[in-house]
Amino acid sequence: MKILITGRDGQLARSLAERIAQHELVFAGRSELDLADAASIERAVAAVNPALIVSAAAYTAVDRAEAEPSVAMAVNGEGPGVLARMAARIGAPIIHLSTDYVFDGGVDRPWHEEDPTSPLGVYGETKLAGERAVSTSGVHYAILRTAWIYSPFGANFVRTMLRLALNGHEIVRVVADQLGNPTSALALADGIGVLIEAWQRDPQQGADAVYHLAGSGEASWAEFARAIFAESVRLGGPSADVRNITTAEYPTSARRPINSRLDCTRFERKFGFRLPEWHHSLREVIERLMIDKERIDATERSFKGSATSTQCVSSVKS
């Protein structure tokens, strides 16, 4: 099956390149498919003529979105609608990635797909607009909400923690009152592969629905950080002392939901698949990052400039 995947250099696209390599994968970066440019989207889809589209590109600078909401809306809200309408025109279903940030964190349990959405910031608002644009486009779709993505690739929380420790930061202060599902992009790609296989057998199976798909189990950012360092130490890597702080002690431009845990039962019941427990997936990612010293050094260089990976941590260098 020919599959067009947007967000070529992102964590999920790079994970899909590994996990569903049996398909004919065509990756599009911004230079080929700019979500802020409708004509660019139409040209790219027409040129590839895929049988299926994975919409993985997004504007993910959560705090910067507060200062440039029109840019974020163009990429996250309007662009996916153009992409979905173009997919409908050629008869290709679309898998669109969304976020836990469509919720406000105001319940004391994992969120279900049918729970009312109420984003706290611009990023969540634009991603919710994208969901609505896809679902009303006339295309057959699956919207996958996920959370707290990490991988061996790109800038993410796991790599930020390792970089801080590697650079001699003995203490990292990490937010301990936000709860979510740490999600390996590799495991997420496996779940998307299951969905694609199901659609190959029956294009109507589970179509036109929203699903939550995130790592099994939950953690706070501080608990996640401690688990990262525990795995790193097990493999002879760097570590740091994690100190708990509250969200109020680490103010950011954009508000984050205190509780963004996702209930993934619907996807499991429909497709017979649940992402592994997040500790297990974390072990796989850190093992890959710790293969050798050159890999660790490469990891250090890749952290810098991340807009999303330092949203809940401060540090003290020795």
In order of 58, 172, 213, 264, the CA distances from 146 in angstroms are 13, 26, 5, 9
Residue 25, classed as helix, strand or coil, is strand
148: left (phi over 0), alpha (psi -120 to 50) or beta: left
The residue count for the chain: 318
Tokens of 8: 């070529």
Under 8 Å between Cβ of 213 and 274: no
Closest CA to 142 of 215, 216, 53: 53
Q: Which amino acid is at 67?
A: A
Closest CA to 115 of 259, 214, 215: 259
CA contacts within 13 A on the Cβ side of 29: 6
Q: Which amino acid is at 123?
A: Y
Q: Is 101 a catalytic residue?
A: no
Return the H-helix or E-strand segment holding 191.
Answer: helix 185-201
User: Which residue carries 């590799």 as its tokens?
Assistant: 186
Under 8 Å between Cβ of 307 and 63: yes
d(CA 158, CA 309): 8
User: Which residues are within 8 A (CB) of 167 and not within 5 positions of it... i.e. 6 or more apart?
Assistant: 300, 317
Candidate list 59, 123, 141, 211, residue with the active-site label: 123
Please list the active-site residues: 123
